[in-house]
Amino acid sequence: MSDTMLSDAPVPSGGSDVVLRAQGISKSFFGVRVLTDIDIDVRRGEVHGLVGENGAGKSTLMKILAGVHHADAGSVEFEGRQVAFSHPRQAMDAGLVTVFQEFNLLPERTVAQNVFLGREPRRGGFVDDKGMQRHTRTLLEGLGVTFIDPGARVGSLTVAEQQIVEIVKALSFDARVISMDEPTAALSDHEVELLYAIIRKLTARGVAVVYVSHRLKEIFDLCDRITILKDGALVSTDATADLTDAELVRRMVGRPLQSYFPGPVEGTAVGEARLELTGCGNEFVDGVSLTLRAGEIVGLAGLQGSGRTELVEGIFGVHGFTRGVVTLDGRSVRFTSPRTAVRAGLALVTEDRKAQGLALGQSVLDNSLLVVRSVFAGRTRASRKRVPGILSSLEVSSRGVDQEARFLSGGNQQKVVLAKWLVTDPQVVLFDEPTRGIDVGAKVAVYQLMRQLAAEGKAVLMVSSELPEVIGMSDRILVMRDGELAAELPARSAEHEVLAAATGSIDAGAAADEIADPRLGDGGDRS
Amino acid sequence: MKRIRVDSTVIVLGILILVIAVGAILVATVGRSFFSPGNIRDILTGMSVLGLVAIGQTLVILGASLDLSVTYVISLASLIAATTMNGNPANIPWAVTLTLIVCAAIGLANGLIVTVLKVNGFIATLGVGLILQGVLNTGFQGSAGSVPWAFQLIGATGVGPLPVSWIIMIALAAVVWFLLGRTRTGAHLFAVGGDPEVARLSGVRTKPPLIVAHVLCSVFAGLAGLLLASRLGVGSPTVGQQGGYALLSIAAVVLGGTLLMGGRGSVWGTIGGVAIFAVVDNVMSVMQVNPFLKDVVRGVVIVAAVAVYSRRAIVRRRTRFGPGGTRTGGDAPAEAAAPAMVAATQALEAEADAADGSASMQGGAR
């Protein structure tokens, strides 16, 4: 689908249109080589995809181009001139602007104040608030965006709108190259479409976009050329048309992924109900009835804001249910806090590992013992002995258990979060966006772990925004809409069926009827 | 769903009105009038000193710092002023200048320790405050100096029911409001307090705004010291500590809706916070409440107000900033924005297609 669109895009093939060229870039941190001899050239008006597993060096490369880090070796040529930025602001002034994954915006300040932060226009010596807002409005309108008020507080905007503010900020520097690091990580589908449209608008103006993403679909949809990094080295740069999905993955991980979504472990049997909810509700969700059975992976899909996270948080006692009945292995239970849930054998792998999953400043070992220490203090000694084994079974690559969690890559951080829960030997495991922002290799590790847990007779519930993941991993798919369960779909349902249920279009009713057939709930549809 | 965002200054104003209403009723029960010119004058007079200190404190707190040294700066300022004036009206200009220069120097020291040595503001100003306390204890045995009548008038006269000291305080608050809202220094102070890394990556020099804030904070404490000297007629090495101005000013700033972590707040909120304290104090002294209860009530007001704010903060946190932030539970603005976005997307795509077409034509021509 991407090819037709790409051939329309203005991609002059001549080398003269190279706006940014980096050659022989190498970089080490504390003696560890992160980038080795990278060459990359970015052309006017193209979307240049930059892909690789976590730890492949994408972020470091972007930061070097942005002037946040300095390369140990190599040269960067921007618009034909040799440049060596020592501060991000120099790069921005030159027209090379980076939109980082963590937004560089002040939530308490207005859109205009953020766009012009550090170079507020002045009139008669004082900040010209009106001029600033007018200028911001012009830039927004240039992108066809009229629904953002330049005087609005950035914190009151949606994530997608904030993204647009970042882009407008970039444009206000007269950017010729805009780098975006995982720009869609927190966007819903129609917001992604809006971002696509804006990116196309930028490229039509001749702005080059360097696009970093883990979502291969986006890479193929958007990019004209794709550069693949692996282990800090350049693998290839190719026109998108010359690459296939499978080939891209093979080059990223260096080996073909036989089964991206592993099937059930041999001998896994769906057993009795372990966790059952009947008519549960709290301030966010309502009337939820569901059953998680031993040996089964249940996927929970739904649009952003449909209440998926709130449901798992409800189960886990973060916002405990105020209505309904919860039974665990047949006994009625009531979780009023995460602590009570953990004691009963539940685990919740939260969606935001940095804010909710890890104590970043503490060691891998301390993080692995975080839950055991606080909830099952008596088991700490015994658990400590198990930690190295669990970490190595998850293939966590760290410089020992004493390394601070903050220095690990996203995938390894997520594995430490998993280890933290495995140590507690949970019976019901809730995963909330378990593979967000982690590389392909780590994703597969997470999937295999889920299958392993199921094989051990545990119940697994997974919330995910990525439909292929939901469909590929789930034995049953629950779909939420507006805080309620809208449908239950069998394994291997089509994407459009899930979407229909999530958005409430007509198919949903039919789909719901279909799954009234109880056999599907037993996973009879599994291939 | 629950996404009320009322401007914090409005909340402060609401609390103030509530406090005034309750106070007026209570005062009426003992047969006195809350709104008599005399009583209003008392309240406004009660606001001036704390108001000056709190204006300065607002600046440093906006920059995500703190100033605990203000109490000692106040005492020192009163002494420098009183001893330099030494009863002679001719010395007033020089005495005021000298006092403010010394205070500015202390503020500069605070600012440099916080920004250059990167010592946390709490510790830095605590240390500087202890040093000043040592100077005060060894240098002065008790009250010293003498303030001429001309200078005492500042603390004693008024325009109608408005005390001169209060008018000065409000005028300076307006200046600071202007500084925060209309100068780069102000904008950058918000940025540094809100997120120093964002500020740095945006090319803001992060040290100067915070240094300026610390200097101004100490100068405002100095002005408070001058005002106290004018009221007492002498300089006192303990006048700052007796008033407990450091913690009380921080409390007033927080009561005024400024985030203790910095980056959000307003000077008018602070003035509102100071007014709330002044009204509560006034009502209690009119009703001759015992001093113990007075402190209890103050404490309750602070805790209750901040509890209101933090409830608001919890609601706000649900729409997290940046990646990982799944928007939750039917967020009204997001829903409202959705149709607009879809429409915009379609319009943009149509336009982009057109642009693509023309661009590729240009490409062909090239």
Question: Does B325 sit within 8 Å of A12, measured CB to CB?
Answer: no
**pLDDT exceeds cutoff 50 at A520:** no
Please indicate if any CB of chain A lies within 8 Å of the CB of B349.
yes
Percent of chain A predicted with pLDDT > 90:
37
- Between CA A107 and CA A122 the distance in angstroms is 23
Neighbours of A390 (CB within 10 A): 19
Question: Does B5 sit within 8 Å of A309, measured CB to CB?
Answer: no
Neighbours of B300 (CB within 10 A): 11
Question: Does B201 sit within 8 Å of A190, measured CB to CB?
Answer: no
Question: Does A158 sit within 8 Å of B333, measured CB to CB?
Answer: yes
- Between CA A338 and CA A320 the distance in angstroms is 9
Report which of A110, A180, A105, A192 is spatially closest to residue B322, judged by C-alpha positions. A105
Residues of A in contact with B355 (CB under 8 A): 200-201, 204-205
CA distance B346 to chain A (A): 8
Point out which residues pair with A280 in neighbouring strands. Answer: A288
Range from B25-39, B60-74, B163-177 carrying the lowest mean pLDDT: B25-39
Range from A164-168, A213-217, A511-515 carrying the lowest mean pLDDT: A511-515
DSSP character at residue A264: P
List Cβ neighbours of A491 (8 Å cut-off, separation of 6 or more): A471, A474, A475, A476, A477, A523, A525, A526
Which of A117, A122, A204 has its CB closest to that of B355?
A204
- Between CA A127 and CA A117 the distance in angstroms is 11
- The answer to whether the beta carbons of residues A95 and A173 sit under 8 Å apart is yes
For residue B314 the two structure tokens come to: 């919890």
Q: How far is CA A173 from CA A18, A114, B167, in A?
A: 20, 13, 44
Point out which residues pair with A277 in neighbouring strands. Answer: A290, A326
- Between CA A170 and CA A292 the distance in angstroms is 47
Report which of B337, B109, B224, B230 is spatially closest to residue A162, judged by C-alpha positions. B337
Give the CATH number of domain A270-345+427-439+457-527: 3.40.50.300
Interface subset of A 109-138, CB within 8 angstroms of B:
109, 113, 117-120, 122, 126-127, 129
Question: Does B345 sit within 8 Å of A156, measured CB to CB?
Answer: no
- The answer to whether the beta carbons of residues A486 and A504 sit under 8 Å apart is yes
Indicate the pLDDT class of residue B341, thresholds 50, 70 and 90. Answer: low
Question: Does B5 sit within 8 Å of A194, measured CB to CB?
Answer: no
* Torsion over CA: A91, A97, A98, A99 (sign): positive
3-state SS class at A519: helix
- Between CA B256 and CA B176 the distance in angstroms is 15
Amino acid at A244: T
- Burial label for A32, CB within 10 Å (0-12, 13-18, 19+), is exposed
- Between CA A410 and CA A412 the distance in angstroms is 5
CA distance B315 to chain A (A): 12
Look at residue B174 in the predicted model and tell me its pLDDT. Answer: 97
Say what the ipTM of the complex is: 0.78
Residues of A in contact with B352 (CB under 8 A): 197, 200-201, 204
Neighbours of A133 (CB within 10 A): 19
Question: Does A355 sit within 8 Å of B324, measured CB to CB?
Answer: yes
Whole-model pTM: value is: 0.72
Question: Does A89 sit within 8 Å of B322, measured CB to CB?
Answer: no
Indicate the pLDDT class of residue A478, thresholds 50, 70 and 90. Answer: very high
Question: Does A185 sit within 8 Å of B324, measured CB to CB?
Answer: yes
**pLDDT exceeds cutoff 90 at B120:** yes
Please indicate if any CB of chain A lies within 8 Å of the CB of B334.
yes
- Between CA A437 and CA B325 the distance in angstroms is 12
- The answer to whether the beta carbons of residues A481 and A302 sit under 8 Å apart is yes
CA atoms within 13 A on the CB side of A509: 2
Report which of B294, B273, B282 is spatially closest to residue B43, judged by C-alpha positions. B282
Residues of B in contact with A158 (CB under 8 A): 319, 327, 331, 333-334, 337
Residues of A in contact with B262 (CB under 8 A): none
Please indicate if any CB of chain B lies within 8 Å of the CB of A482.
yes
**For chain B, how big is the Rg over CA atoms in Å?**
25
Residues of B in contact with A92 (CB under 8 A): 203
Residues of A in contact with B259 (CB under 8 A): 108
**Is the CATH number 3.50.50.60 carried by domain A1-95+218-258?**
no
Mean pLDDT of chain B: 85
- Between CA A316 and CA A334 the distance in angstroms is 10
- The answer to whether the beta carbons of residues B315 and B6 sit under 8 Å apart is no
* Over residues B349-353, mean pLDDT: 55
* Torsion over CA: A411, A416, A422, A426 (sign): negative
**pLDDT exceeds cutoff 80 at A301:** yes
Range from A309-323, A363-377, A491-505, B89-103 carrying the lowest mean pLDDT: A491-505
List Cβ neighbours of B85 (8 Å cut-off, separation of 6 or more): B91, B92, B95, B145, B146, B147, B148, B151
- Burial label for A180, CB within 10 Å (0-12, 13-18, 19+), is buried
For residue B350 the two structure tokens come to: 């149509």
- The answer to whether the beta carbons of residues A331 and A293 sit under 8 Å apart is no
In total, the C-beta contacts within 8 angstroms joining chain A to chain B are 198
Place of tokens 């599994």: A526
DSSP character at residue A265: P
Question: Does B191 sit within 8 Å of A118, measured CB to CB?
Answer: yes
* Over residues A201-219, mean pLDDT: 89
Neighbours of B313 (CB within 10 A): 11
- The answer to whether the beta carbons of residues A160 and A194 sit under 8 Å apart is yes
The total number of residues written for chain A in this structure? 527
Range from A12-26, A437-451, B194-208, B239-253 carrying the lowest mean pLDDT: A12-26
For residue B266 the two structure tokens come to: 């307003």
* Over residues B5-19, mean pLDDT: 81
Place of tokens 């190719």: A238
3-state SS class at B15: helix
List Cβ neighbours of B11 (8 Å cut-off, separation of 6 or more): B257, B308, B309
3-state SS class at A476: strand
pLDDT one-digit tens code per residue, A345-399: 999 998 888 888 888 888 888 898 888 888 888 888 888 888 888 888 888 877 7
Look at residue A59 in the predicted model and tell me its pLDDT. Answer: 83
Point out which residues pair with A226 in neighbouring strands. Answer: A49, A238
Please indicate if any CB of chain A lies within 8 Å of the CB of B342.
yes
Neighbours of A78 (CB within 10 A): 21
pLDDT one-digit tens code per residue, A403-427: 888 888 888 888 999 999 999 999 9
- Between CA B258 and CA B307 the distance in angstroms is 13
Indicate the pLDDT class of residue A465, thresholds 50, 70 and 90. Answer: confident
CA distance B97 to chain A (A): 26
- Between CA B175 and CA B221 the distance in angstroms is 16
For residue A389 the two structure tokens come to: 């084994």
Neighbours of B206 (CB within 10 A): 16
Question: Does A144 sit within 8 Å of B344, measured CB to CB?
Answer: yes
DSSP string, B217-281: HHHHHHHHHHHHHHHHSSB-TTHHHHHTHHHHHHHHHHHTT--TTSS---HHHHHHHHHHHHHHH
Indicate the pLDDT class of residue A305, thresholds 50, 70 and 90. Answer: confident
Neighbours of A402 (CB within 10 A): 10
CA distance B267 to chain A (A): 15
Look at residue A215 in the predicted model and tell me its pLDDT. Answer: 77
Biggest distance spanned by C-alpha atoms of chain B = 91
Where are the CATH 3.40.50.300 domain residues in chain A? Answer: 1-95+218-258, 270-345+427-439+457-527
pLDDT one-digit tens code per residue, A307-325: 898 999 999 999 889 999 9
Look at residue B200 in the predicted model and tell me its pLDDT. Answer: 87
Domains of chain B in sequence order: 8-317 (1.10.3470)
For residue B78 the two structure tokens come to: 């009163």
Percent of chain A predicted with pLDDT > 70:
90
Q: What angle do CA B222, B225, B228 make, to 5 degrees?
A: 155
Strand order through the sheet with A484-490: A346-349, A428-432, A459-463, A297-302, A476-481, A484-490
Residues of B in contact with A197 (CB under 8 A): 344-345, 348-349, 352
Residues of A in contact with B182 (CB under 8 A): 126-127, 129
Q: What angle do CA B358, B362, B363 make, to 5 degrees?
A: 115
Q: How far is CA B284 from CA B26, B287, B293, in A?
A: 9, 5, 9
For residue B325 the two structure tokens come to: 């932030």
Please indicate if any CB of chain A lies within 8 Å of the CB of B203.
yes
- The answer to whether the beta carbons of residues B125 and B213 sit under 8 Å apart is no
For residue B71 the two structure tokens come to: 């109490």
CA distance B151 to chain A (A): 34
**pLDDT exceeds cutoff 50 at B365:** no
Please indicate if any CB of chain A lies within 8 Å of the CB of B120.
no
